[in-house]
Amino acid sequence: FTTYAPFGPRAGRGRGALPWESGGTAPGVTLAQGGGFSTDEQNNIQVYQAASPAVVNVTTVTLTYDFFLNPVPVEAGAGSGFIIDENGDIVTNFHVISGARRVLVTLADRSQHQAKVVGADPRSDLAVLRINTGRKLPFLRMGDSQKLQVGQKVLAIGNPFGQFQNTLTTGVVSSVGRNVREPRSGLILEDVIQTDAAINPGNSGGPLLGSHGLVVGINTIIVGPTNLGIGFAIPVNRIKLIVGDLLREGRVLRPYLGVRTLPLSRGLAEVLELPVNEGLLVLTVETGSPSSKAGLRGGSESV
């Protein structure tokens, strides 16, 4: 992932490692001893103190109409997010900001800022926002979800029920590689992290952290109306790929063929007098698609 180009529209940021890439422990997490707390308590305190300044509340505003059909802005929902560079880029869930006319971000210091949607991807349920505060902001670094183990401690920070800013809950990785359906869009999110760290409505978009303060996932889905000990987070390795595209292109670049095919059976091959017994029969080719540019043609097209 370090081969990604700079963030794109910003001039002068240079090439090289992105600010939120992993690198040992997050700034401020020293795992020190002392203070009369157990080792685990010290770790919880230190991770929270280091990470919470970079966790934000995300509030959306939509329009409704009064009796006289005048537009009236109303607060539509609330979620969470986290800052990924000092300039104010923020990662959250797509469903947190979907349908919003305005997006407002509240920082840990309670200051509120209007956010611009840099890019959003419904398929992965991820979005990137940007705020301009005129100052450098604390940000989180991302770890490696490929190394996650069931039983490993994780910490979630977010805005449950849209009321309790920067709430910390802890738990473990309950499972990895789960496939779950996103209830709003119906899309299947593949290979997500299951955790028993308490996650409630409003936690969506907040970070799931490892014991070294690095982001390992983004809290996204719960089972049931409130937390039942079953929450799911999108793994950070996928976030890195999606966020890189959204920052650079404003959309996610996905490879595709642009063809509609039919599995070729032996019987069909004999009827069509084809020289092969198996494969895919190309029925149609989308105009301007990679397959079209490569010279593929549908079965009814002239050569």
Helical segments of the chain, H only: 39-51, 94-97, 236-249, 266-271, 290-293
Annotated active-site residue 40? The verdict is no
Eight-state DSSP code of residue 28? T
* Active-site option among 85, 89, 125, 245: 125
Q: Are 130 and 90 a contacting pair, CB within 8 Å?
A: yes
Q: Are 21 and 144 a contacting pair, CB within 8 Å?
A: no
Q: Which two tokens stand for residue 273?
A: 């007098």
Q: Are 267 and 284 a contacting pair, CB within 8 Å?
A: no
List C-alpha distances in Å: 227 to 23, 56, 167, 179, 286: 32, 21, 14, 19, 45
Interatomic CA distance for residues 281 and 93, integer angstroms: 39
Q: Are 155 and 208 a contacting pair, CB within 8 Å?
A: yes
- Of residues 261, 258, 300, the one with CA closest to residue 282: 261
Annotated active-site residue 113? The verdict is no
* Active-site option among 80, 89, 95, 291: 95
| CA 47 remoteness from chain centre | 21
Q: Are 142 and 20 a contacting pair, CB within 8 Å?
A: yes
Interatomic CA distance for residues 56 and 162, integer angstroms: 11
- At 58 the three-state DSSP class reads strand
* Active-site option among 22, 124, 145, 204: 204
Catalytically active residues, by annotation: 95, 125, 204
